[in-house]
Amino acid sequence: MPGIIMDDANASGSRLGLNPSNRQNGITNSSTDNGVKGGDRGDSKDVSYDRDGGVFNSNNHDGVKSQRESTSGSASMRVPELPHITQGFFPYAQLVNRAVQQCWNDLVDVMNELAETQVPSQNLEPQSSLVNGKTAGNQSAENVHKKMRLLEFAQAKRAEFIKLLVLSQWGRRAAEVSKLIDIQNFIRTRHMAYSGALQRVGDMKRDLVQAQVANPDLKTAAEVLSKGKVAALPDLGYKPPKPLNAKKMLKTLQKINRAISTRLVLHDTVPSAFRTYHVHDGRVTFFVKGEFEIDLSIAEQNHSSQFFFIDLRFLYSPSSPIPKGRFFSELDLKINDILLQSSLTGCFNFVHNLVLTNQINILFRQALNLARGGWSDALHVELLHRTLIVQYWALKSGPRNWLEIGVKTGRHKSGSNNATIPGISHLDLRWMRDGKEVDHSRIQFNKEVLSMENILRSAIALHSSHLLQSAYSKLEEGHLYSSGTLALKVDMSDEEPGNCCLTVQLTKSRYLRVSVEPISGTITLSTSPTILIRQEVDRNGDKSPVEDIVTRVSRLRCIAAMEEVESHARMMGWDTVNPRSVKLDIRRTFPSNVLRFSLFSHPLWERNWIAAATSSMDGDHWWILQLKSAPSTSTRPAVGAGLPVLQSVQNVTEKLGQRQNRLDYASFANLEHSLAGLLALYANARYLEDLDCVHSFPQARNLQLEHGPRVPDLFIRFEPSRLPAGVQISCPTGLRKSRFLKETVCLSFQGIDSQTKRVIIVAHGQFTAPMRTVWALASNSDNSVAFQRKGRGFAMRFLVTAGNSMIGPLFDRLQRLECVLSILEALDRKNIRTRSMSLSRLDFTYGAQQDLHASIRIKGPESSQSLYDKGTVDLQPKTAPLRLQLEINFDQSNPHRRISHSLSSVLNDNGAVSGVNHMANLLTLTIPLLQALDRITCGASRDPPSKVFVTARDAKVYQIYYPHHRYRFLITVGQHRDRIAWILRDARTAQEKSNPGQLESKLRERIYNSQGEGWKGLGTGAVADVQKVGNLLSELDTCFTSSANDAGVKGPQTTTTQTGTDQREAANGQHAPTAESTKPVEVKSESKKDHDVIMID
């Protein structure tokens, strides 16, 4: 019945013209409210109706009587109240509120739609765009469309509100309409009651026909009782058959068998389904495999007579025998009638269809029992005609899955193997998986043993196998499983869904079992509980089951891998880095297939290097990331400003693949060990790339761990001439500029130092030519370089912090090594025997007897030393390369100790006469002189009058000073008659020579005007051979010692007067520098027990 719209005043259903009290529909009941139902008003007894439909209260109108009461004569009876219909009534205000709300919602949608439409801007000409003095506005298609859309919306809503206005006007008369509805309902009810009465009368009349009994035939009954016969009945002359004995009965049955056999073979058309039969006991039994067997027989030998039904048995289970009684009688009549009309073919069709229908009904009942039992809420069962539809996994979202069991005609050729007899209708199955029909040939559908549960379990097992096999195929696409690194196994079954599972190896120590719950279809994963809890939160019901399995397994595998990595990292003392503390774009840094990652920092690494472990279905990899501080760009930093930013990233385990062993404490410690070494080499490779003048192989982006894991070697092409000026180190002047080292230097990781916990990097290189003596000369105290005993190889050992570069110290050592080898070569050319060598010192012996020892120390510049300490290189352009400083040292017994500073200056000067060669020549030149000076200064006993002071101004100029006698001599190297000789001359001033004495005469007599072995006087001086200069100095010293002895016996005989200054100089063992001095004088005092000599250098 249609609803009624009532205004608020009449929404309760009261009619106009009634008493304005609490009565409703003519009911006086003060206890009822406006919401009372019509069924509750039927209890009122004080209501009467007039002929116009008015309602009056009998208590208030005692004088008024209805016309019906006067006719019936009963004053106590009252006409019942009309039932009041309130179904479908609702207030008009509610309709208005809903219309207003809907109008508002539609208006918001229209506004959003109009906002999405972009209107292009239009530049209007100020004069041409005026139409009747007004601008035409924006007439673009988008703007016109927006206006039309807004106008259509306004017109549609206007029409709706006009309808509401009409309804409001009509609703004011709703009470009258409600009364009319009540009257119409009353009339319909009476009409239905009248029609029902007529129907019941007719049914009764029809049923009474069967209750009629014919009148008894008393006349015929009296005749039968009296005479024993009825004369009126005709006599047909039939004789009763003779009773059959067993022999005749057997003979009769055999006769019937022959007749049936002959008839079936020669005359009757036997359908193909009845080709299997057995004739016995006077009947033929037709067998239809899996369906039924039926017994038929004949009543006449005529081949055209019909067969008669005897019995029917079903050949499938569960089934029950046909009950005897009415059902069997009706079945007998039906089959006999069909045999009469359609013979054997019609009989088969009827019984066959009966069996198929019964089988479907049996499966339907089984499905209903399953849906009410353990499969509750998981099955939807529906029977449409003779098609049974069973939907499984009903609560699962996504495409539906169901089975259809029905009768297949068999007219069309199909691939079904369920047909018992080809070309005949049969019970068949249709499988809809994920809304699409799929092959059902593997579903276990046994028609002889009907089991809906077995059919369902077989279909669900195949469905589960399909899901797991599809997930297996997708998971196998990952490199981890395609390469066999991790195991992946799927077990499938055609009958039992519980036997279907997917076994996934998450890591070397963790496994995951994926299965499908048979009843609900829920995908279950069994592994560590903590992993499952974290995973269930992220489940997405919109994905297909296969994608859901692959996604969940992938995430669980990555979670398990990361949990193992994080656990072992914490055990090894690593620190976890919060990704939010690093300004890192994960999508750009790592490949897109990475599902999980963790960042770590190592306490022994440089702080600007961190490690990252990533996990995906293609493998677990380790990365090293170089960070740098973010520059400050504004006074008000934005969110995330100041965080370290990524400078470089490198995958260090890509070459390993996934052949690493099970992750345990030992393997992770080995990985940590290898990562530290690779980080040290990677930092050097990155440094060389920034240097951009030294080639290396492999490049930094190709530097990765190899199988083992093993840290690869880094090869560097070392060319000193191509190094920046801030790194180049030039050797001292005079050394031959030859290359002793080959260009290729190999950097290899050799472990971690147990004491300093720093990485050991060994640089391997080779000499250009065999260096047989270098190995024997290498100093045992210098562990920074080692040489190959037989061959050309050498090695340098460095201790660096992981992440720090050692290229600066490496270049420093390599260049030092070339300088050392150059010095060694120069000494060998001078026949100076080297005893030991290192990068900072060479020890050698020289002299005729090789009894003099000396050493050359190699000192680097301060900037080079800082390179060694910090491992950084100054790449700014320099005016000149850095230079090594050489310093020669002698022991206390070596006479060359007097000129060590001079020789060091010779080694480091840039002049033409400098360098190691010139220093070696000076050593040979000055040995006789310095030995003679040692003899005269280190005599057994020298009295103060005979004291002598020797000053070495440089290696070629010496001053001999006798303070007591105030004599000063200068001995220098010079050429005499085209040969090098030592020249002795008087160094006194003219004033000092003005008072000659006895000593002067002795000097002229024994030195200036005399000659000896290897020396000869020159009148004012003397000249001596290099090797015989000692004879000259001995003769000179004899003159002064003999004069001092004479003075000690006879008293002092001096011809000169010493000034106070001279006396102080003599007393202090000093002398004033002469004009020939070229540099400040450094005084060194050497005190010995048996002499008193001051050596000035």
pLDDT tens per residue across span 651-660 = 888 766 555 5
Residues 6 or more apart whose CB falls under 8 angstroms from that of 18 comprise 26, 55
Residue 390, helix vs strand vs coil: strand
> Is the bond into 709 cis (omega within 30 degrees of 0)?
yes
Q: Examine the pLDDT at 983 and tell me if it is beyond 90.
A: yes
More confident residue, 997 or 163: 163
Q: What is the mean pLDDT of residues 414-432?
A: 73
**Given this model, what pLDDT does residue 537 score?**
46
Digit-coded pLDDT (tens) for 1008-1035: 999 999 999 988 899 999 999 999 999 9
**Model confidence band, residue 189 (pLDDT cutoffs 50, 70, 90):** very high
pLDDT-derived band at 499, boundaries 50, 70, 90: very high
| Cβ neighbours around 101 below 10 Å, total | 10
Alpha-carbon dihedral of residues 769, 774, 776, 780, nearest 10 degrees? -140
Residue 153 has pLDDT above 90, yes or no: yes
Residue-wise pLDDT for 441-477, tens only, equals 999 999 999 999 999 999 999 999 999 999 999 999 8
Query: pLDDT tens-digit profile of 245-267?
Result: 889 899 989 999 999 999 999 88
Q: Assign 297 a pLDDT band (cuts: 50, 70, 90).
A: very high
Highest mean pLDDT pick, 26-30, 381-385, 814-818, 994-998? 381-385
Arithmetic mean of pLDDT, 574-592: 86
Under the banding of pLDDT at 50, 70 and 90, the label for residue 243 is confident
Write the CA distances from 524 to 238, 377, 433, 478, integer angstroms.
84, 19, 20, 22
Structure confidence at residue 630 (pLDDT): 63
- Report the pLDDT value the prediction gives residue 1070, as an integer from 0 to 100: 38
* Residue appearing with tokens 């009747």: 132
Q: What percent of the chain has pLDDT over 70?
A: 78
Omega prior to 318 cis, within 30 of 0 = yes
User: Residue 1085: is its pLDDT beyond 70?
Assistant: no
Q: Report the pLDDT averaged over residues 140-167.
A: 91
| CA 983/CA 1024 separation, integer angstroms | 6
Highest mean pLDDT among 98-102, 558-562, 1048-1052: 98-102
Contacts with 984 (C-beta within 8 Å, 6 or more apart), sequence order = 969, 970, 971, 1007, 1021, 1022, 1023, 1024, 1032, 1036
Report how far residue 923's alpha carbon sits from residue 896's, in angstroms, rounded to the nearest whole number: 8
Q: What pLDDT does residue 722 have?
A: 82
What is the spatial distance between Cα 658 and Cα 705, in angstroms, rounded to a whole number?
12
CA 134 to chain centre: 66
How do residues 837-868 score in pLDDT, each as one tens digit?
888 888 999 988 888 999 999 887 644 444 44
Q: If we measure between CA atoms, which residue out of 423, 464, 460 comes closest to residue 444?
A: 460
Which residue type is seen at 610? Answer: I
Could you state, in order of their start, the residue ranges of all structural domains in the chain? 86-114+142-203, 246-350, 352-410+423-455, 465-544, 573-629+644-651, 652-863+879-891, 912-990+997-1039
What is the rounded distance in angstroms from the CA atom of residue 515 to the CA atom of residue 468?
A: 8
Query: How far is residue 346's CA from residue 921's CA, in Å, rounded to a whole number?
Result: 137
Decide which of 535 and 1005 is more confident.
Answer: 1005
Going by C-alpha positions, the residue among 284, 280, 302, 304 that lies closest to residue 293 is 284
> How far apart, in Å, do the first and last CA atoms of the chain sit?
135
Q: Tokens at residue 470, please?
A: 């599809």
- DSSP β-ladder status, 785-787 and 957-962: unpaired
pLDDT of residue 484: 86
Q: For 509-554, how does the pLDDT look when each residue is reduced to its tens digit (9 = 90+)?
A: 888 999 999 999 999 988 765 665 455 544 555 678 888 899 989 9
Task: Give the integer Cα–Cα distance in Å for 250 and 258.
Answer: 12
Most confident of the ranges 65-69, 120-124, 617-621, 1086-1090 = 617-621
Other C-beta atoms lying within 10 Å of the C-beta of residue 355:
21
Burial readout 575-604 (b: 16 or more C-beta within 10 A, e: otherwise): eebeeeebebeeeeebeeebbbbbbbbbee
Confidence at residue 415, expressed as pLDDT on a 0 to 100 scale: 47
Predicted pLDDT of residue 816? 87
d(CA 782, CA 991): 58
Q: How far apart are CA 629 and CA 348, in angstroms?
A: 93
580: helix, coil or strand?
helix
Strands 957-962 and 967-975: antiparallel
- Angstrom distance (rounded) from CA 353 to CA 242: 43
- The residue among 7, 41, 6 whose CA lies nearest residue 23 is 41
What is the per-residue pLDDT for 332?
94
Measured distance CA(445)–CA(559) in Å, rounded = 43
Cα(920)–Cα(827) distance, integer angstroms: 7
Instruction: Quote the CA–CA distance of 251 and 238 in Å, as a whole number.
Output: 24
- By C-alpha distance, which of 651, 655, 671 is closest to 663? 671
Only one residue has tokens 């509805």, namely 181
Evaluate if residue 1097 carries a pLDDT over 60. no
pLDDT at residue 59, rounded to an integer: 41
pLDDT at 442: 92
Q: Which of 971, 1002, 972, 970 is nearest to 989 (CA)?
A: 970
CB 1044 within 8 A of CB 946: yes
The pLDDT of 1044-1067, averaged and rounded, is 39
Going along 137-225, which residue ranges are E strands? none
Rounded Cα gap, residues 625 and 647, in angstroms: 7
- For 138, the 3-state DSSP assignment is coil
Query: Cβ-count burial of 41 within 10 angstroms (0-12 exposed, 13-18 middle, 19+ buried)?
Result: buried
Q: Is 93 exposed, middle or buried (CB count within 10 Å of its CB: 0-12, 13-18, 19+)?
A: exposed
Cβ of 526: how many Cβ atoms within 10 Å? 12
**For all residues of the chain together, what is the average pLDDT?**
79
Give the mean model confidence (pLDDT) for residues 920-933: 91
pTM of the model: 0.60
Q: What is the pLDDT, as a whole number, of residue 291? A: 92
Residues near 1093 by beta carbon (within 8 Å), at least 6 away in sequence: 937, 938, 942, 947, 948, 949, 950, 1086
Enumerate residues 6+ apart whose C-beta is below 8 A from 581.
643, 644
Residue 463 confidence (pLDDT) = 95
41/27 Cα distance (integer angstroms): 7
Q: Can you tell me which residue has the tokens 């190889």?
A: 793
Q: Is the pLDDT of residue 422 over 70?
A: no
Asked whether residue 1072 carries a pLDDT value surpassing 50, the answer given is no
User: What's the confidence (pLDDT) of residue 132?
Assistant: 58
pLDDT over 50 (residue 15): no
pLDDT-based confidence at 63, cuts 50/70/90?
Answer: very low
pLDDT confidence tier of residue 72, bands split at 50, 70 and 90: very low
Question: Per-residue pLDDT for 205 more than 80?
Answer: yes
CA atoms 322, 324, 330, 331: torsion sign:
positive
Smallest Cα–Cα separation from 679: which of 776, 605, 777?
A: 605
pLDDT at 943: 64
Residues 6+ apart with CB under 8 A from 599: 576, 577, 578, 579, 582, 610, 611, 612, 625
How confident is the model at residue 131, as a pLDDT? 54
Tell me which of 100-104, 134-138, 298-302, 308-312 is least confident: 134-138
